[in-house]
Structure 1
Amino acid sequence: MYVNPLIDVAVRSLCVYLFMVIAIRLFGKNQLSQLNAGDVVLLLLISNAVQNAMVGQDTSLEGGIIAALVLFIANLILKRLIFSSRSFGSLVESDPVILVKDGVVDHQALNKEKITEEELEEAIREHGIADMKNVRLSILEVDGNISVVSEDEKSKQTHYARIKRKIKRKYH
């Protein structure tokens, strides 16, 4: 059976996209925000490995454009589904997780999310907070970043900070 090569590229690209969304969901959101050298190498190797799975033997300009177009459309559809259905959104992107509340670390949440206490302390320090007792709330967000709400001991004023450790995600 003959299949148009560009349709073949489109179907392959869609399959790879869905696989990558599922893989990222299974391997955890904290993997997205705190990339080390090994993670960067892994991302580069994955992109190289899935390139051939998407375009097959088609190395034409049209094949590359079709693959990219399918990825953009699939991402747009996925974002719209996440936005329109809370249950689907929770399936694809896990819910935010409270890591610290009123200076008390939730060790069970840290274990579940595979975050070490040292990584949490580092994130807290990156927000300019020296002591965990000054953290009113620390949340692992759905995009893998850690947000922190703190209280200044001198002025009793609440401060919110969020450190972005990766390229911002666009929701259209």
Structure 2
Amino acid sequence: MERLSDVLFSGSQTEFLLEIFIRTFIMFLLVLLVLRLLGRRGVRQLTLFEMAMIISLGSAAGDPMFQDDLPISYAVIVFMTVVLLYKGITWIVMKYRPMEKMLEGAALTVVQDGMFALEEDRDLTFSKMEFFSELRNLSVEHLGQVREGVLEVDGTLSVLFYEPSQVRFGLALFPSRYREISGYHGPGPFACMFCGKVIKEIPVGKECPRCSRNRWALAMNTQRV
């Protein structure tokens, strides 16, 4: 118990504990004020550039909260500089499209015509399972229901669906149906578990004619509920 007390309070000064409370309270209000001035954004709407800015603000706010040799005025100067930089860079981004792409990236097509877009695959930082999870959250049962899916710069997924009458066979997204078939000789169609290509019969050699992979699952064509 004495050891725990040493870990928690060793070397602490009682009068400085109150100062830490006051400093933390002030810095917290300053952070809220700055974020309010920068505009309303949800966490999922933040771009990479905005995340870097918030991390900078957090770093600048943290030290003055408990270091008595750092006046709060230093943090205020840092905040003002970050806000000016943010406003300036935002203006530049609005004027010059290449700068926006460099700082924030570009939207990527993930699903096209019920299949994964192979040409964008090398640029993706998400795993297929993460995309499956995002699509499942949108009540998508299989890729055949999706006409186009785009990964936005803020990490969200935007989806256009086929009309019910146009739903095609596609790769299942739920674990109960996303299962590799082995030695299966029943009727198809079948979907490539990598790219979502659907074929009526598994070809000789079992390689997908689109991506050259060789893992297959039964395709499905249920409509969205």
The Cα shift of 1:83 comes to 0.8
Contact 2:60 2:75 in 1 (8 A): no
Distance 1:61 1:50, change over 3 A: closer
Is 1:143 the equivalent of 2:142?
Answer: no
Name the CA distance, whole Å, in 1 between partners of 2:117 and 2:61.
38
Greater relative contact order structure (CA < 8 Å, 6+ sep)? 1
Aligned to 1:123: 134
Distance 1:115 1:81, change over 3 A: same
Compare the two structures and name the one with the higher helix fraction. Answer: 1
Name the CA distance, whole Å, in 2 between partners of 1:136 and 1:58.
59
Aligned length: 113
The Cα shift of 1:155 comes to 9.1
TM-score by length of 1: 0.54
Q: Deviations over 1:81-118 (max 9, x none)?
A: 11110111111121111000111112442342122111
Please state whether the residue corresponding to 2:164 is helix, strand or coil: coil
- Structure 2 residue ranges without an equivalent (≥5): 1-42, 45-53, 168-225
Contact 1:98 1:109 in 2 (8 A): yes
Q: Counterpart amino acid of 1:129?
A: V
Aligned to 1:102: 113
RMSD: 3.3
The Cα shift of 1:136 comes to 1.0
Please state whether the residue corresponding to 1:128 is helix, strand or coil: coil
- Structure 1 residue ranges without an equivalent (≥5): 1-31, 34-42, 157-172
The Cα shift of 1:138 comes to 0.8
**Structure with max Cα Rg:** 2
TM-score by length of 2: 0.43
